[in-house]
Structure 1
Amino acid sequence: MLQLLLPDARVELHLIAHLKQRFGDQDGLARHLRDSDHVFSHFFWLASFPGGNTLDLQRKLPRLRMFPVVVFPAFHPDMIYVGDIASLRLSALVHGPLGPSHSAIALFGFLEGLSIEETLGLYDGAVFERLGYHRAWDEGTAHLLMAAREVGFGLETELTRWQRRGCFMHDSNHPKLHVLADIARRLAVEAGLGPLDLAAEDYLPDLLVEEALWPVYPAIAAHYGVKAQPLFRAKAVRGRPPRLYNLKGFVTESFARYAQVPREQLGAERITAWRADPGIRALFASARGA
């Protein structure tokens, strides 16, 4: 993105997943970056890379400018990760039809012994309201703005602009290209670099489209006044068209995957909370035989 906006600059992109293999530890990374004119990074945790987190790296590289990770679950409030999430390892997560992302309703329906048809009846606006899905907008906004302020990169203006464009996320954790472009452009402007004034999506492909795409359920779309995206899309495999699922196909395939996984591995923070909530358990129980 920065290379597009700054065509005369030399730009290096380093993925967190590859840092250990390339630099060994954080000291090695700091040595590599110390002669750079500008260093931009979002926050990463100690478990991601030995030697410390981004704040430790910033102490070694005072010119490092942090920017926020954009997480916004309002359009996809049913999406969760399942397994050993605290390990920050993809291999420790349970994989379903869309890889590591799952429907909380589908998983809880399976664990509560509902049939596929009974579970499908729970994808309803009234149920979403009872589950707190409609609170995800206010909660997501507050969390994102707070996280942005904590790294000195307030997003109040940008978030208002993104919201006016409708759904600006591919899923809860993956923003669309124009969001990333706004952040990159602002980093360049505030560093005094004079980026090109252009719409990045007119010149670059959105590479995150190649990842799994989560739908915007019709009831969620209607609640927020955005376009519904009813199909689940698995990550594209090179040389083949991506696999698409309607809701019934996704829930059916999810149930089949869960049946092959030990129940003790089908854990998630939200599932634990729902299991402890008599009202939510009664809501799912009411779907049995409905």
Structure 2
Amino acid sequence: MSSASKKCLVISNCQAQPLKHGLTWALDDFVVDIHGVHTTRLADRAEAHAKLIANKYDYSFVLTTPLSDKFGVLATDQIVKAFDPIPVIFITNIVFTGLHPDVAYIGQMGGRLQGPLGDYHSLIAALAFASGFSGHEALRLYQGNTYRFLGYFDECEKSFLELRRREQSVDIRFEQEIRDLIRDGTCFFSQNHPSSRIFVPYIDKIAGYLEARGLARKSGWHMDVNIVPNFLASSAIYPIFPEIARHNDLSFEGSYFFKSTSVGDRPGRVYGLEELVRLEYEAFSRVPKEGFMALPVVKDSLAKFGNAAQWPR
């Protein structure tokens, strides 16, 4: 960092790292610090937040996603006052379940059941297991009638409406751009991991907003999705099922191939649907059956949809 460099702070979740790198390239002579709210232990939050506030004059501005009251002084209704007079700009936490409605978390944050895709699980596999289906029987559930019954085909528009609702409280919105981008390429690796196809225009829009407000200047470098790395691609990648791709009129056909997390130079594995379900069943079997049935996502989904044996075929 040169003595002339300016600094800004990005407060976000797993999207903080791609934002850091992209904004460093998009802005002229800026060092971007990040605070990942998802990596800070609950016991350490107060101290970590106090340190950020104590160092606020290091930053020209702060970019933050809206945060709930559990984040103390970083919560949406407190952070502007906490960082005053440093400008605070609210950006979107891009979450879009519309193309990955089958992704489910099993267990509470910090204690989630781990499977072949880490935190990510197939809701259909979980409900088939809870319904007493064999792995072979579970495979037959991955088809259009199931998706229609579970509401998967309705999730895309619901996600756009939810994104629009959440963006009412931010300064830089991106819902319309996602609508325009989503048909012609992979925009999400999972519901909360956007691809560079999303990040590149989003970061460019943020940089343009900052320049218009006189808070920064754009570097002039033209970022391209083919040359901007995205660290989230190293995490698990959940496919867009072919039936969901066709229903939403995507220009590509989707698949049933799942990629596990890559660690350093160790590539992740690619699983077909049959192997994925088998490994999911192994993960589910590590939980006592009574405890598995009591897990909120399993219990609530069974109450809503019933035993998988009753689903339309």
Q: TM-score, normalised by structure 2?
A: 0.81
Equivalent of residue 237 in structure 1, options 253, 256, 263: 263
Is the alpha carbon distance of 1:167 and 1:267 closer, same or farther for their aligned partners in structure 2, counting shifts above 3 Å?
Answer: farther
Is the alpha carbon distance of 1:51 and 1:6 closer, same or farther for their aligned partners in structure 2, counting shifts above 3 Å?
Answer: closer
DSSP-derived class of the 1:44 partner: coil
- Residue 129 of structure 1 is matched in structure 2 by 148
Equivalent of residue 93 in structure 1, options 105, 108, 112: 112
Give the RMSD, CA atoms, in angstroms.
2.5
1:148 CA displacement: 1.1
- Residue 32 of structure 2 is matched in structure 1 by 11
Is the alpha carbon distance of 1:77 and 1:123 closer, same or farther for their aligned partners in structure 2, counting shifts above 3 Å?
Answer: same
Is the alpha carbon distance of 1:35 and 1:236 closer, same or farther for their aligned partners in structure 2, counting shifts above 3 Å?
Answer: closer
Aligned AA (1:251): V
Matches within 5 A, 1:1-290: 1-18=22-39, 24-47=47-70, 49=71, 51-62=73-84, 63-84=87-108, 89=109, 91-192=110-211, 193-195=216-218, 196=220, 198-226=222-250, 227=252, 228-263=254-289, 264-265=291-292, 269-277=296-304, 280-281=305-306, 284-286=308-310
Aligned AA (2:128): G
1:266 CA displacement: 5.7
CA contact (8 A) 1:80 1:104 kept: yes
Is the alpha carbon distance of 1:145 and 1:197 closer, same or farther for their aligned partners in structure 2, counting shifts above 3 Å?
Answer: farther
DSSP-derived class of the 1:14 partner: strand
Name the % identity. 24
Aligned length: 280
1:72 CA displacement: 0.8
Q: TM-score, normalised by structure 1?
A: 0.87
CA contact (8 A) 2:113 2:119 kept: yes
Unaligned 5+ segments in structure 1 are none
1:18 CA displacement: 4.9
Q: Give the Cα–Cα distance (whole angstroms) in 1 for the partners of residues 295 and 184 of structure 2.
A: 32
